[in-house]
Amino acid sequence: MKTSESALNLTPISDAARAQLREVRAAGGNLTIPASFKARSLAQELKKAGYVQIGASGYDLRLTGMGQAYLDRLMRAH
């Protein structure tokens, strides 16, 4: 590793949460999720990992820098 690179500790997430994270990025970094238990629980998983922020309404997701880094690393791995 070069001295200019820093090791990121990226938290693993479920396949379903990864799919939702990809949806957020495909939507331009902001996504309003449906009012379902499944969508909200996946959003909470992503928030706990630090990959999204959840707006005051509880349904608006915003991609964070860590979320973008996680998806970038996945793309390089495949």
pLDDT of amino acid 47:
98
Residues of the chain with pLDDT under 50: 1-5
pLDDT of amino acid 24:
97
The domain ranges of the chain are 15-77
pLDDT of amino acid 3:
41
Please say whether the beta carbons of 51 and 66 come within 8 A.
yes
* Cα→Cα distances 5→1, 9, 12, 48, 57, Å: 7, 13, 21, 25, 37
Read out DSSP for the chain? --TT-----PPP--HHHHHHHHHHHHTTSEEEPPS-HHHHHHHHHHHHHTSEEE-TTSSEEEE-HHHHHHHHHHHHH-
CATH 3.40.250.10 for domain 15-77? no
